[in-house]
Amino acid sequence: MPPPPDSVSVAAPVTTAPAPAQLVEHFFRHETGRLHGALVRLLGVHNLALAEDVAQEAMLRALRNWSMGGVPPNPSAWITQVAMNLGRDALRHQRMSAAKEPALVTHHEQILTSPAVADEAAQVIRDDALRLMFVCCHPSIAPDAQVILALKVLCGFSTSEIARAFLSGDAAIEKQLTRTKQRIGDAGIGFEIPEGEDLAPRLNGVLAALYQLFNEGYKASSGERLLREELCQEALRLASLLIEHPVGRTPRAHALLALMLLTAARFPSRLDEHGALLRLDDQDRGKWDQSLIARGLNHLLEAAQGNDLSEYHLLAGIAAIHCTSADYASTDWARILRHYDELERIKPSPIVALNRAVAVAHLRGPQAGLDAIAAMPERNRLESHYLLHAVIGELQWQLKDDRAAAGSFRRALSLAHVGPEQHYLARMLERSAEKFPREPGDTETSADDRTSNHLADLSQTPASLTRPKPRREKAR
């Protein structure tokens, strides 16, 4: 696993030269927001779809050119220059007015004429990324649509990744994106950070998008890497930049940044040296980053100013309980359950209810946890996601119902989509299925299956990934 970030602005050191395809993927993830922001400044926010197309073409050209001629010394500047050139060509093809086009083109040629100005432009691009995030969260757009647009345009999420985050389907997300972009064009939304009364509704959408960006980095929705630190670092960078700006210095924003820092502090111990998933109680707490914990707790104190209580306050509170517990056995599950009870009141969701059931199981036993899962509202929305079945399987195993546990883990494995989780679930299935092999009609699964999965709540490790309590003897 790559080492944890020492700060939000310093990426993990690179020890080997990445292949061009890997590097392009990295830039697509890490530079999308900055690139889109610069392109929207050039093309205008009404050309949001064109900016996306231009950025995509720049990435494709990078893949082709770098594969044949090697990676340039400054890949970021190379992609930016190509994208801006493509953007200027697009302006000409749109037959813009003779008076406006030269002015726009000259302005951007002055900005990007030499590598010496690249460092000076970096901060402008970062500001553009933040501005574009606020544009995506315009109050005339529905709250969910704000976040979906920001994730797609600014964060480089695929449609499938967004769909999994929203427990939706790809077609529904595509349709919503199309409608949202049309609304932006029709409304003539401007490219500026709002002030005064326009701030609050936009800020909530920005925070929600940053939360989802960090969540995808904390637990990737597909691939062989469970932890994608570059996404978490970008979310931390943008959240820190937001906090520095007067419009973003709010208790809710401090709470989100606290949640991110307290969660990132545990990164060094989430995977072992072979990349295998470590349960919370198996993690070496001595590896947790105490400086990030201290910063997170300071932001949590800042978040306590005023009367605002958001989902980020409660999730950061749960993360703080984990980070300040001396060991796993001393975790205050009663306080965690109270936080989830309050979270269900102000921001209910199937994932919140599932995590609450985990806390119930720790306090009152596995059967109480299963009862809480059975009583979950909208449980059907999680039926196609591995996490529900993994938690159920763990609780069934604790009750010594090996046959049921094997079935649940088998179902979870068929739905898992990330390598380390697949291997973990395969081990849990093997443990439970020793006495009860697969029955006729069961779905054959393996650690190489690729289907769908879901983002777990990023502040707490689910029961399926923690050491179970001693198994209870089954009632006779």
Span 411-444, pLDDT tens digits: 988 888 777 778 888 888 888 876 555 454 444 3
For residue 232, give the amino acid letter.
C
Which is higher by pLDDT, 212 or 359? 359
Tell whether the model's pLDDT for residue 78 goes beyond 90.
Answer: no
The confidence band for 475, taking pLDDT boundaries of 50, 70 and 90, is very low
User: Residue 255 has what pLDDT?
Assistant: 97
How far is it, in rounded angstroms, from Cα 437 to Cα 464?
20
In this prediction, residues 282-288 reach a mean pLDDT of: 91
pLDDT of residue 7: 36
**What is the per-residue pLDDT for 127?**
55
Buried residues in 34-57 as b, exposed as e (16+ CB within 10 A): bbbbbbbbbbbbbbbbbbbebbee
Q: Please choose, from the candidates 70, 78, 63, 83, the residue with its C-alpha nearest in 3D space to the C-alpha of residue 118.
A: 78
Segment 306-325 mean pLDDT: 94
Alpha carbon distance 284, 302 (integer Å):
29
Position 95 scores a pLDDT of 56
- pTM for the predicted model, two decimal places: 0.73
Q: What is the pLDDT of residue 444?
A: 39
**What is the token pair recorded at 135?**
């544009």
- pLDDT(250) > 80: yes
pLDDT band at 19 (very low <50, low <70, confident <90, very high): low
pLDDT tens per residue across span 84-116: 888 888 888 775 544 444 544 444 444 444 443
Q: Which residue has the tokens 């984990």?
A: 322
